[in-house]
Structure 1
């Protein structure tokens, strides 16, 4: 049982880390006034989906299906990141060479790709530990686990709200410059 507590905490830390990345994207969005493009919004969904998969392990017990959801979400996010990197790898005349302000020399979508790849590798390594699946009891959440659970829930709600404000019910513009509903 103690090992499952450790694995649940590892999953909570992973979900928290992904939530911090999405929070960083919001900091860029609101402090630098850089609205996310449609691919950026899809990458946020991939990060939140991976975080939800890990949170399912924390809340409902350790199961391969929960890891599978996290892996599929991270793969989806990696695919959208790769698409965006490839779109900006060769600049087109009259268009800037990247989208958004770089962070430590790399654009956010490149960092997102690295984070998704790290997430995929980490989850695959966690799944190698078979003993965690023997005891799948639902245990009460610790204070940190509850915090992470609600942190991710609030981030997901904020993502829905800000996307609705930015795009409305129509497809998001390729290069957004303003909120549709503000």
Structure 2
């Protein structure tokens, strides 16, 4: 029985690391889009990035310290908050003839993709929470050193958090971000 639970634990550890890599990938793609197309994120876009970052923190805690209901709670509540901010932006641009904010990717704007991603992330996290044998004492006492996949996920996530923070500071400074940003506040204009 314990060997079965430890095997399941390894799978859920791997899935937590893959989900963290997925969140990192979303944030890296949004940042690359911002740099390559010079499309600065609006305040609601930044809130969606915060939602992904907070969900990633919950997953990172699982990867580094072992699965706990509180870690899943952080990730699920963050996904819900991200859904709210992305749904708000979808509703702002749902009127006929509204061009939306930013360039679309594969026919949909990033905030629409974010809404779908937060929904899928919430379902995934709920399923992981049901599968994870975290309440079994013997399984919880196993050493929690992340493997190479976990380390890759954590380092990628921490790197994009730092890059996003610096980018946001360049765009907004220490004050509120403009509603329709066209240039970085702390960089010379284009």
Interval containing the TM-score (normalised by the shorter chain): over 0.9
Contact 1:90 1:97 in 2 (8 A): no
Q: Per-residue deviation at 1:48? A: 1.1
Q: CA RMSD in A?
A: 1.3
Aligned length: 179
Q: Per-residue deviation at 1:145? A: 0.8
Name stretches of at least 5 consecutive residues in structure 2 with no aligned partner. Answer: 1-5
Contact 2:9 2:132 in 1 (8 A): no
Contact 2:12 2:132 in 1 (8 A): no
Q: Aligned runs of 1:1-40 on 2, under 5 Å?
A: 1-40=6-45
Structure-2 separation of matches of 1:177 and 1:35: 7
Name stretches of at least 5 consecutive residues in structure 1 with no aligned partner. Answer: none
**Aligned with 1:122 (options 121, 124, 130):** 124
Structure-1 separation of matches of 2:62 and 2:131: 14
Q: Per-residue deviation at 1:131? A: 2.3
Which residue of 2 is the match for residue 178 of structure 1?
183
TM-score by length of 2: 0.90
User: Residue 160 in 1 paired to residue 165 in 2?
Assistant: yes
Q: Per-residue deviation at 1:91? A: 5.2
**Aligned with 2:58 (options 53, 60, 74):** 53
Residue deviations 1:31-75 (CA, integer Å, cap 9, x gap): 000000000011001011111111111111111110000001111
